[in-house]
Amino acid sequence: KYDRPDRRPTVVTGASSGIGAATALTLAAAGYPVALGARRVDRLDDLAASIRESGGEVVVSPLDVTDPDSVTAFAAEVVAALGDVETVVSNAGAVAPGTIHEVDSERFAAELDLTITGAHRLVRAFVPAMVERRRGDVVFVSSDVAVRARPFMSAYAAGKWGLEGMAHAMQMELEGTGVRASIVRPGPTWSEMGTDWDVDEAALVLTAWERFGLARHPHFMKPQALADAIRFVVDAPRGVHVNLIEVNPEAPI
């Protein structure tokens, strides 16, 4: 049995599907009170119902990380319901594929805003109280694309690279404060990512994978693999800091 003497309220963004949903379930089952944030609240309500059924503590609040007011309202609602937040899993994300010179600048900027500034809004909302209490964890869900860029995902690659830069700076700035910033960097994972692409966008990405040899092995991981990695990071005992963890599908034997 997993014993957790301390109660550690935890936020998971992008909890309505994929890696976020698996992470919320995993942390709730481990005894963390969880706050679920995303735009599709009906999905969050379903997830919350199953967490409650299993005896977990959970709260749902609508969240659009690209909207500052939404982040502020989310943070207020979560703290009112669960108390001071000790762990934030900044996981919300999306990819809008396109050829770099054809992607309009507004769309490019919007993707950077989601990936980088969205995560920074969470930092602003939750980290000051963590620093004050001298205890906290922020996990940034990055992507292998941050370090091995894929074509037709220039804004996503720039965004995740930028996100990791922000996280590294934060690690140094917060050294000695008791607040740990960590990067979890997933490789290809089955999720709903890409299900909103139109035919042309999907064709761009799939052709590129073949043309540039990016699909050397076509296996994808289940979101649970990342949920387990995230739990490992936030469960690290005090005195230990898992700065970065990259998780990839195993190559076929």
Query: What residues make contact with ligand NDP under the rule CB under 6 A?
Result: 13-14, 16-20, 38-40, 63-66, 91-94, 114, 141, 143, 186, 188-189, 191-193, 223
For residue 170, the minimal CB distance to ligand NDP (Å) is 17
Query: Strand 10-13's sheet: what is its strand order?
Result: 58-62, 34-38, 10-13, 87-90, 136-141, 179-186, 244-247
Nearer to ligand NDP (CB atom), residue 56 or residue 223? 223
Nearer to ligand NDP (CB atom), residue 134 or residue 203? 203
For residue 228, the minimal CB distance to ligand NDP (Å) is 14
For residue 238, the minimal CB distance to ligand NDP (Å) is 27
Give Cα separations from 126 to 137, 174, 175, 205, 225 (angstroms).
10, 14, 17, 36, 26
Task: Tell me the C-alpha distance between 110 and 155, whole Å.
Answer: 9
For residue 133, the minimal CB distance to ligand NDP (Å) is 26
Query: Is 153 in a helix, a strand, or coil?
Result: strand
Nearer to ligand NDP (CB atom), residue 20 or residue 56? 20
Give Cα separations from 24 to 150, 151, 250 (angstroms).
29, 31, 24
Task: Tell me the C-alpha distance between 102 and 155, whole Å.
Answer: 12
Nearer to ligand NDP (CB atom), residue 227 or residue 242? 227
For residue 64, the minimal CB distance to ligand NDP (Å) is 4
Q: At a CB cut-off of 8 Å and minimum separation 6, what does 239 contact?
A: none
Give backbone dihedrals phi and psi of 186, rounded to 5 degrees, phi first.
Answer: -80, 145
- So which residues are the catalytic ones? 156
Nearer to ligand NDP (CB atom), residue 10 or residue 143? 143
Cα dihedral 100, 104, 109, 111 sign: negative
Q: Would you say 93 and 14 are in contact if contact means Cβ atoms under 8 Å apart?
A: yes
